[in-house]
Amino acid sequence: MSDNDDEPLTEDEIRREMEGEGLREEANSEIIVNFWKTKLHDASLGIRQKQQYRSKSRKYTKGMEVRGEVAFKKKGEKDEEQTKMIIGFNTDFWESEDSAYLKRHDPKELYKRLSIRLFTELKDDKGGNWMGSLEQSLTEAIVSSMTQDKPLPLFIMDVPRYEYLIRLSKGKTLTGHRYCFALIPDRDWSYSLENKVRFFSIQSKRMTVGLDFRVFELGGLNDDQVVAKIDEKKFDLGGKWVIKILDSSLERNHVFKHILILFCCACKYLDQINDNIQKLYELLSKEGNFLDTINEELSFFKNPRYR
């Protein structure tokens, strides 16, 4: 088996995975998504290291700030041995002072849009590679909210070496949170010999101290079984979530892993996102259409067949 967890599996390796452990009670490893308490960590990077990140990837833009890190922890592994990524936060979309969009409402609040990108940790001039993006679509969120009369965020994810965009949409629930997404097999699909779409639901747990989730695969034999757990470390001031993948085949799939990581990155901002969508929806209902085109979202709607 390849030492690189992101390498596609061979057919024999896939078969062994499918005939192997399947669902487990405990995960072999943990993924820790950790936001720092203050912005001092970002300031400590220094101008030179930020320039190095920008030189490594065009996706590390000028408005990026490092707000936290992701650690991949295997059993028995020491902290210094863990593979790590940084969490890049685009302040241009969340904390923008640009008033060109809208004169009569506060654009800093109305057009606030979450944009997060992951990069491998830069050490000894190695690393800095882009590993995934999450973009909030205000336009699609408003459409979804209109159909259900409730704020329903929608996130679009982009993962390297995967030819499709992933849409993570919130469903209407009486209490808590429920997000759904689909995994479409592509040419490099590595966790299944079957060319089938798989559907998943991320559901918040009730009566817990933190914002905890359980991930279910919808349909099939595992419909009522948990394939992954996401638990918040509630008393961590910056925000911290631990991911444990219980399905042995999904644990090997880099797309599935990065979807859960990016979702955890969004968890820190879910309350603010819901409040903002609610404000936009109420203003549209009261005052009519005032929403300008959000240029950064146009690529989500482009028709690839248009000539």
Chain segment 61-75, per-residue pLDDT in tens: 888 888 999 999 987
Residue 94 to residue 184: CA distance in whole angstroms:
30
Q: Binning pLDDT at 50, 70 and 90, where does residue 12 land?
A: low
Chain segment 200-229, per-residue pLDDT in tens: 999 998 877 778 999 999 876 656 788 999
Token code pair at residue 109? 């609040």
Listed in sequence order, the DSSP H helices in the chain are 11-19, 40-56, 91-94, 107-110, 138-148, 254-267, 270-287
User: Residue 266 pLDDT > 80, yes or no?
Assistant: yes
Q: Where are the domains of the chain?
A: 23-290
Query: 212 near 230, Cβ under 8 Å?
Result: yes
Chain segment 273-303, per-residue pLDDT in tens: 998 888 888 888 887 776 777 777 888 888 8
60 or 26, greater pLDDT: 60
Chain segment 130-149, per-residue pLDDT in tens: 999 999 998 899 888 888 88
User: What is the distance of C-alpha 22 from the center of its chain?
Assistant: 25
Query: 153 near 246, Cβ under 8 Å?
Result: no
Query: 73 near 242, Cβ under 8 Å?
Result: no
Contacts of 22 (CB under 8 A, 6+ apart): 247, 248, 249
- As a whole number, the mean pLDDT across the chain is 80
At 304 the pLDDT is 79
Considering the chain, what percentage of its residues have pLDDT values greater than 70? 78
At 14 the pLDDT is 44
Eight-state DSSP code of residue 175: S
The dihedral over CA atoms of 198, 213, 90, 184, expressed in degrees to the nearest 10, equals 0
Considering the chain, what percentage of its residues have pLDDT values greater than 90? 32
List residues bridging with 232 in a β-sheet: 241
At 149 the pLDDT is 84
What predicted TM-score, i.e. pTM, was given to this entire model? 0.83
Token code pair at residue 278? 């609610």
At 215 the pLDDT is 95
Residue 304 to residue 302: CA distance in whole angstroms:
6
